């Protein structure tokens, strides 16, 4: 019998195995993660995504990290859902700036059926520009997921945020199970999943391992796996969190690459406060997607020319769209 491929995806990871990966000597972890990365991806390729907040602030949920919750005084004003034409105009600019995927985020607890036609028009318009489409709209019912799929949606972002044991310290208005059910509705509708979490919220390494364990034991690994470094926002309960050590963040990316080897791992929020060297280490251990543009949803991100210089200095290039499409098919 041929030996099993050590880089093949596995769905039976134990929490202890994942904790043991975190404990490896840094050099060994980097080597293993970079090796697995090369098995499935061109390590010079990084996917370029851009975010737009299509409905900002006033959210009824109490996610302790979030500037958009109505429970906290973060100074982010609430606004109405944007018009589809304005969203499509922003997407056109993003494409001209080199974005490959356009991610539209709404500060909602859940999608309301009355908003579906407008969101569907945004998806159709953005897709017509030749961009991959992603939305993150809170919890979804199965019929809503099907309607988004019919509009041409490629990806739905819905994060688990942290490990199950720490989750209750971060948010109480929505359960872990609620999140898993939305992800199931997304998968069942045939939409690719974008699902990850946040580090730097005061969690332990075991909690970070718990997040990656939850992701690696989903019925299907996320197609996109964003790891966010908390963007601390004054006025939110987690606004004064102790930042996570830079090398620990790199370890988290490396372990994500090892346990979900075929997922496109995104170095998501937090690049604004990371050195070029830290970002380079993240790319080395398997991060192969970023958000570009000076703004994420409500917080800052590196300027486009800063990222262009970083890509030039590191010899990185935008991921071929064929590669991202192949990923989506491979994960089905």
Query: Catalytic residue positions?
Result: 59, 63, 66, 103, 134, 194, 266
- Binding status of residue 59 toward ligand SF4 by CB under 6 A: yes
Structure-token pair, residue 32: 């293993």
Applying CB under 6 A, the residues found at the interface with ligand SAM are 59, 65-66, 105, 107-108, 136, 138, 158-159, 161, 198, 228, 230-231, 233, 269, 297
Q: How far is the CB of 98 from ligand SF4 (least distance, A)?
A: 27
Q: How far is the CB of 162 from ligand SF4 (least distance, A)?
A: 12
Q: How far is the CB of 157 from ligand DTB (least distance, A)?
A: 5
Contact region with ligand SF4 (CB under 6 A), list: 62-70, 150-158, 235-243, 261-269: 62-70
> What is the footprint of ligand DTB within residues 46-105 (CB under 6 A)?
51, 67, 103, 105
| Contact assessment for residue 269 and residue 238, using Cβ atoms and an 8 Å cutoff | no
Contact region with ligand SF4 (CB under 6 A), list: 59-67, 81-89, 90-98, 236-244: 59-67
| Options 68, 74, 162, 233; binder of ligand SF4; rule CB under 6 A | 68
Q: Which long-range contacts (CB under 8 A, 24 or more apart) does 29-35 make?
A: 29/251, 29/254, 29/255, 29/285, 30/250, 30/254, 30/281, 30/284, 30/285, 32/254, 32/258, 33/253, 33/254, 33/255, 33/257, 33/258, 33/285, 33/286, 34/284, 34/285, 34/286, 35/7
- Binding status of residue 299 toward ligand DTB by CB under 6 A: yes
| Options 51, 61, 102, 284; binder of ligand SF4; rule CB under 6 A | 61
Distance CA 11, CA 260 (A): 9
| Contact assessment for residue 170 and residue 66, using Cβ atoms and an 8 Å cutoff | no
Dihedral of CA atoms 246, 296, 138, 258 in degrees, nearest 10, equals -30
Q: Which does 69 bind (CB under 5 to 8 A by kind): ligand DTB, ligand SF4, ligand SAM, none?
A: ligand SF4
Distance CA 156, CA 177 (A): 17
The CB density around residue 204, as the number of other CB atoms within 10 Å, is 11
Structure-token pair, residue 208: 């970070």
| Options 153, 186, 211, 268; binder of ligand DTB; rule CB under 6 A | 268
Binding mask 143-182 for ligand DTB (x = CB under 6 A): --------------x-x-----------------------
Dihedral of CA atoms 52, 202, 252, 314 in degrees, nearest 10, equals 60
Q: How far is the CB of 231 from ligand DTB (least distance, A)?
A: 5
Q: What angle do CA 311, 314, 315 make, to 5 degrees?
A: 75
Tell me whether residue 30 or residue 265 sits nearer to ligand DTB (CB atom). Answer: 265
Q: Which does 222 bind (CB under 5 to 8 A by kind): ligand SF4, ligand SAM, ligand DTB, none?
A: none
Compute the Cα dihedral for 168, 51, 33, 221 and give only its sign.
positive
Binding residues for ligand DTB (CB under 6 A): 51, 67, 103, 105, 136, 157, 159, 196, 226, 228, 231, 268-269, 296-299
């Amino acid at each position: 019998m041929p030996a099993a491929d050590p880089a093949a995806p596995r769905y039976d990871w134990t929490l202890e195995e994942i904790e043991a990966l975190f404990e490896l000597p840094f050099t060994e972890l980097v080597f293993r993660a970079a090796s697995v990365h090369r098995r499935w991806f061109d390590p010079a390729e990084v996917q370029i995504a851009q975010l737009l907040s299509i409905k900002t602030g006033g959210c009824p949920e109490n996610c302790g990290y979030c500037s958009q919750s109505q429970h906290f005084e973060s100074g982010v004003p609430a606004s109405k859902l944007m018009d589809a034409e304005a969203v499509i105009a922003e997407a056109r600019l993003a494409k001209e700036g080199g974005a490959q995927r356009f991610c539209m985020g709404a500060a909602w607890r859940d999608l309301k059926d009355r908003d579906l036609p407008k969101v569907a028009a945004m998806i159709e318009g953005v897709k017509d520009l030749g961009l991959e489409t992603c939305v993150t709209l809170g919890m979804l019912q199965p019929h809503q997921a099907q309607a988004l799929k019919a509009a041409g949606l490629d990806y739905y972002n819905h994060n688990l945020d942290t490990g199950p044991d720490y989750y209750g310290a971060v948010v109480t208005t929505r359960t872990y199970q609620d999140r898993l059910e939305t992800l199931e509705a997304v998968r069942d509708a045939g939409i690719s999943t974008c699902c990850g979490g946040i580090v730097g919220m005061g969690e332990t390494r075991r909690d970070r391992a718990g997040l990656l364990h939850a992701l690696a034991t989903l019925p299907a690994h996320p197609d996109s796996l964003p790891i966010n470094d908390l963007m601390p926002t004054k006025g939110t309960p987690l606004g004064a969190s102790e930042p996570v050590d830079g090398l620990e963040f790199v370890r988290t990316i490396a372990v994500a690459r090892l346990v979900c080897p075929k997922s496109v791992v995104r170095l998501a929020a937090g690049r604004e406060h990371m050195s070029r060297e830290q970002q380079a280490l993240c790319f080395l251990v398997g991060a192969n997607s970023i958000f570009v543009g000076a703004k994420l949803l409500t917080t800052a991100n590196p300027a486009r020319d800063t990222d262009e210089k970083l890509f030039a200095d590191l010899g990185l290039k935008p991921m071929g769209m064929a590669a991202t499409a192949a990923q989506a098919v491979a994960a089905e």
